[in-house]
Structure 1
Amino acid sequence: MTLPHALPALSAVVADYDVLLCDVWGVIHNGRESWPEACEALTRFNAQGGQVVLISNSPRPASDVIAQLDALGVPRDSWKAFVTSGDATRMELAKRAPGPAWIIGPDRDDTLYEGLDLVRAAGPADAAFLSVTGMIDDETETPEDYRTALSDAAARDLELICANPDRIVQRGDRIIYCGGALADLYESMGGRVTMAGKPYGPIYALALAEAERLLGRPVDRSRVLCIGDGVITDVLGANRQALDCLFIAQGIHGDAARGDDGTLDPARAAALLTAETAYARYAALDLKW
């Protein structure tokens, strides 16, 4: 088991990187409030000539999520570009228009479909494929509430397009199920699933294209650092792209990587990573300068 290096602060490695591909939920906010130290770290990286590209598994286009960041107090100078799973997923949906698509998710995610000319199906019986952003009511529902309906779709061999590969996120002090949990259930039934967000390639292609635009030159991938708290999304995504990664071990994993003295225990962090056959060069409990 290879241990990640315990990183006391981002400033310790700032000279080694031109670009940060930084996760959002679980790193700079928890859905209820932003974390000032994390935001300051990104702001200071930008101020020293770096380029911060936020890379989120939000199922909505980035242009629609910026207002949420503003409302949570995430400073605009803490990032320079923003790409989401929604941005990458729109390309997949456009290939399959007009559908019809059986759409599962809350009304707030409807901006994902704007301008795509998709026909909405009433259910799996008259759908050509499924599009999932999450639970319709993620405060009360779990994937099991969708088992019967998804079973019907799997029986018809309908492809499921998942706009949010995250399985869970932390909202305040609660854990909320996301679209990836529905995709997992569907796959367990033998259903076909397509995803474009982390850890899959399309979202990284978008993020690196944004980095190249900001730099005004080709990206040196050895000088890109991915930051995130999701092992099977952020860390595996970085591994698949052969990019360095800083694992924020306190996000959705709570205190699992915290030692008895309250600081990061690299061995416990490594256990979280190796359980998913993942590796991170660095680990920290939270992001700070």
Structure 2
Amino acid sequence: MTQIISALSDVSDRYQALFVDLWGCVHDGVRAFPDAVAALRAYRENGGTVVLVTNSPKPRAGVREQLVTFGVPDDAWDSIASSGDSARSAMYRGTVGEKVWFMGEEERDAGFFEPIGVVQNPVNITRVPLEEAEGIVCCGPFDALADPEVNRPQFLYAKQKGMKLLCANPDIVVDRGEVREWCAGALARLYTEMGGESLYFGKPHPPIYDLARRRLAEIDRMVPDSSILAIGDGIHTDILGASGEDIDSLFITGGLAARETRTSGQPDPAALERYLQDQQMAPSYAIGFLR
């Protein structure tokens, strides 16, 4: 049974570390949520460790730069595990070949192809047109507002050629302020539905949780899974992923599921129960917004 709590501090003393989603929990893609920042600062001041676990296709350094522009201070977190870093490692191991067709926004996603030091003997990645590619690297749609179906002709060709699609961000949608945008996960889902093979490295899939644990080890925090709380607003990413890792979770209902859970300040208990039953998920706790 999911417990509705009023603040992170209600349960935070049970956990040594937090795996915290960013978009929809700490910021809205435009600016930071002050209450969320204050809650994470308070948790760290009491000895807790915060790893930001994000499905952003950006490398860790790129995520940090973005957090500065949103107004998320460095003292609200300890480390970052991004889907981008996990996916980049796989790309440089040659998972989808050496010649790749890139999907994404050039300026935003340029850091994805920067050299990576954690892979021994990385392959030489070359970006080429689809007709010359061995595989697809997808950081997101070319147009975040366009229906993913516009990519069907290219995906049909890629599937016929047996190309794998590396998905650097399994999220289906995000809300940038008041605007809902498509993410790489929506394209990967379409490719899979068409019979292609999509490879995922962010939540809810294991590689990003392995990376998050390594981030804890890098700062000399060896924390058992029973002492980690995952926080997020994605029922099929954050909460499903935590469940798969046997990690307790705090569901932020005021994000992607705000309408379904009738969240204003807090979720409506009956609406929340119906939603969780429909999704067949049972997070440990729920709260309207991280605070």
Within the candidate set 47, 50, 62, 1:64 is matched to: 62
Kept in 1, the 8 Å contact 2:266–2:289? The answer is: no
Give the CA deviation at 1:47. Answer: 0.6
CA distance in 1, matches of 2:184, 2:260: 24
CA distance in 2, matches of 1:189, 1:236: 24
User: Partner of 1:112 in structure 2?
Assistant: 112
In the alignment, residue 282 of structure 1 is paired with which amino acid? Y
SS in 1 for 2:171: coil
Give the CA deviation at 1:265. Answer: 2.4
1:50 aligns with 2:48: yes
1:247 aligns with 2:251: yes
User: Partner of 1:127 in structure 2?
Assistant: 133
**TM-score scaled to structure 2, two decimals?**
0.93
Give the CA deviation at 1:272. Answer: 3.0
User: Partner of 2:119 in structure 1?
Assistant: none
SS in 2 for 1:275: helix
In the alignment, residue 25 of structure 1 is paired with which amino acid? W
CA distance in 1, matches of 2:60, 2:274: 33
CA distance in 2, matches of 1:82, 1:263: 28
Within the candidate set 174, 180, 186, 1:175 is matched to: 180
In the alignment, residue 15 of structure 2 is paired with which amino acid? Y
Kept in 2, the 8 Å contact 1:135–1:142? The answer is: no
**TM-score scaled to structure 1, two decimals?**
0.93
How do 1:31-110 and structure 2 match up within 5 A?
31-96=29-94, 99-107=98-106, 108-110=108-110
SS in 2 for 1:157: coil
Taking structure 1 as reference, are residues 246 and 102 closer, same or farther at Cα in structure 2, changes over 3 Å only? same
Q: Deviations over 1:205-232 (max 9, x none)?
A: 1111222333x35312111000000011
CA distance in 2, matches of 1:186, 1:96: 20
How do 1:1-289 and structure 2 match up within 5 A?
3-96=1-94, 99-107=98-106, 108-115=108-115, 117-123=124-130, 125-138=131-144, 140-214=145-219, 216-258=220-262, 263-288=266-291
Q: Deviations over 1:137-171 (max 9, x none)?
A: 21x32201111111111122211000000000010
- Greater CA drift, 145-154 or 182-191: 145-154
User: Partner of 2:118 in structure 1?
Assistant: none
In the alignment, residue 242 of structure 2 is paired with which amino acid? A
Q: Deviations over 1:204-262 (max 9, x none)?
A: 01111222333x35312111000000011100110010000000011012232126x96
In the alignment, residue 94 of structure 2 is paired with which amino acid? R
SS in 2 for 1:169: strand
In the alignment, residue 132 of structure 1 is paired with which amino acid? C
| Structure 1 portions without partners, runs of 5+ | none
C-alpha RMSD of the superposition: 1.6
Kept in 2, the 8 Å contact 1:266–1:283? The answer is: no
The sequence identity of aligned pairs, in percent, is 37
Give the CA deviation at 1:15. Answer: 1.2
Taking structure 1 as reference, are residues 164 and 153 closer, same or farther at Cα in structure 2, changes over 3 Å only? same
In the alignment, residue 114 of structure 1 is paired with which amino acid? E
SS in 2 for 1:141: coil
Kept in 1, the 8 Å contact 2:138–2:184? The answer is: yes
Taking structure 1 as reference, are residues 191 and 270 closer, same or farther at Cα in structure 2, changes over 3 Å only? farther
Kept in 1, the 8 Å contact 2:265–2:289? The answer is: no
CA distance in 2, matches of 1:149, 1:89: 22
- Greater CA drift, 38-47 or 262-271: 262-271
